[in-house]
Amino acid sequence: MSSFKPLVFSGVQPTGNLHLGNYLGAIKKFVALQDQSDCIYCVVDLHSLTAQLVHDDLEDQTRQITAAFLASGIDPMKHIVFNQSRVMQHAELAWIFNCVARIGWMNRMTQFKDKAGKDRENASLGLLAYPSLMAADILVYRATHVPVGEDQKQHLELTRDIAQKFNNDFSGRIAARGLGVEMQVGEETVQGYFPITEPVIGGPAARIMSLRDGSKKMSKSDPSDLSRINLTDDADTISKKIKKAKTDPDALPSEVKGLESRPEADNLVGIYAGLADMTAEQVLAEFGGRQFSVFKPALADLAVEKLAPVAGEMRRIMADTTYVDGVLRDGGERAGALAEATMRDVRSIIGLLQD
């Protein structure tokens, strides 16, 4: 009996500017995982239609996320970088998963509730089915590990539920075709066609908060630009935003426990730790007892040192659209071949006639 080969998949939507939360919570992890496994990184353009159908510059937004991936150090030759809509098998598998998943599962998603707001009847059907497409993105490659920020945890649990239900509902037909793979889920050894994917969440930067309000996550949609550091901000802007970040009047504690109920301080320490590849403990060992008048300039210098080269490289790459488009085309071809191999199995398992 075979077992699943480790494979990393993740996606980022081409909507708005990338910010420090995206970088530390997701992209930096994408880069780190390249040395351990094969990785597939996707600009999920179809997902960006769920909240807003008409975009003036979806092409450029897609190129911008691609440039951020490349500028951060993702190697498109060793791994795969592409935009989702090129590989139509994502949408095909999403349809099948729409028939596997239950409406109740979708209705429970906090992101759907937040994004749909009060007028749920008027949200797009795509917004409700969003997690089904996300499960298809991952499972069309039978990926085993998915690095994301904390906010995506619930969607990944749903991905596991969809894989499990498919494996159970079709267990006889999977076994009859010899397509079952053995896997360890908790204590149990089970068999199925789709892996039960592991989220890769955690570290000090899994949830970066707004610089203006430590109770809100740093987000593309916050009306205040001072609430976030954009990956395209220049050195002066980065420094200014950190110096203006909300804090409290106390010095930094020397223990992590002292950050409890100090959300802004906790956030800035987490950002420092994420940028420096340190733990919060290590940051406090260095800065415990210091005032923000000392910590903020050190954080600003660190942020500029780490982010300004990425921004510069992004601008350089963005200027060469032929190169960027070539990366996406080549990645799409390689991803498409892998996805089609899965779909041939899936069609056969379900009983959809094909040649």
Beta bridge partners of 8: 39, 145
| Alpha-carbon gap, residue 219 to 210, rounded angstroms | 7
Give the single-character DSSP code of 104. H
Catalytic choice (113, 118, 165, 220): 220
Residue 217 binds: one of ligand TRP, ligand AMP, none (C-beta under 5 to 8 A by kind): ligand AMP
Q: How far apart are CA 200 and CA 150, in angstroms?
A: 9
Q: Indicate whether 10 belongs to the interface with ligand TRP (CB under 6 A).
A: yes
Q: What share of the chain is helix, strand, coil (3-state, %, to 5)?
A: 55, 10, 35
- In this complex, which beta carbon is closest to ligand AMP, that of residue 47 or of residue 142? 47
Contact call for residue 218 and ligand AMP (CB under 6 A) = yes
Residue entry with tokens 């006639």: 353
* 217 vs 306, beta carbon nearer ligand AMP: 217
Choice between 134 and 242, CB closer to ligand TRP: 134
Binding of ligand AMP by 280 (CB under 6 A): no
Over its C-alpha atoms, the chain yields an Rg (Å, rounded) of 21
217 is catalytic: yes
Alpha-carbon distance 238 to 241, whole Å? 5
Q: Which is the catalytic residue, given 5, 29, 78, 115?
A: 115
Q: Which partner, ligand TRP, ligand AMP, none, binds residue 167 by CB below 5 to 8 Å per kind?
A: none
> Which backbone phi and psi does 233 adopt, to 5 degrees?
-65, 145
Between 154 and 282, name the residue whose CB sits nearer to ligand TRP.
154
Residue 64 binds ligand AMP (CB under 6 A) = no
* CB 74 to ligand AMP: min, Å: 14
- Candidates 19, 28, 29, 47; binder of ligand TRP (CB under 6 A) is 47
Q: Does residue 197 interact with ligand AMP by CB under 6 A?
A: no
Residue (15 or 247) nearer to ligand TRP, CB:
15
Q: Which of 28, 29, 217, 241 is catalytic?
A: 217
25 binds, among ligand TRP, ligand AMP, none (CB under 5 to 8 A by kind): ligand AMP
Closest distance between ligand TRP and the C-beta of residue 191, in Å?
24
Residue 115 annotated in active site: yes
Residue number of the CB atom closest to ligand AMP: 25
CB of residue 221 to ligand AMP, shortest distance in Å:
10
Is 165 considered catalytic here? no
Pairing of strands 145-147, 198-200: parallel
Q: How far is the CB of 23 from ligand TRP (least distance, A)?
A: 13
Which partner from the list ligand TRP, ligand AMP, none does 208 bind, CB cut-off 5 to 8 Å by kind?
ligand AMP
Name which of ligand AMP, ligand TRP, none residue 80 binds, using a CB cut-off of 5 to 8 Å depending on partner kind. none
Contacting ligand AMP (CB under 6 A), which of 7, 8, 22, 245? 22
- Segment 134 to 173, residues that bind ligand AMP, using CB under 6 A: 148-149, 151-152
Q: Give the separation between CA 240 and CA 249, rounded to whole angstroms.
A: 19
- Phi first, then psi: give them for residue 235, nearest 5 degrees: -55, -45
Distance CA(155)–CA(183), nearest Å, equals 21
Q: Choose among 224, 284, 276: nearest CA to 259.
A: 284
Amino acid letter at 21?
A: G
- Distance CA(168)–CA(162), nearest Å, equals 10
CA–CA distance, 167 with 19 (Å, rounded to integer): 37
Instruction: Report the interface residues with ligand TRP, using CB under 6 A.
Output: 9-11, 13, 44, 47, 134, 137-138, 146, 148, 152, 155
Residues with catalytic function: 115, 217, 220
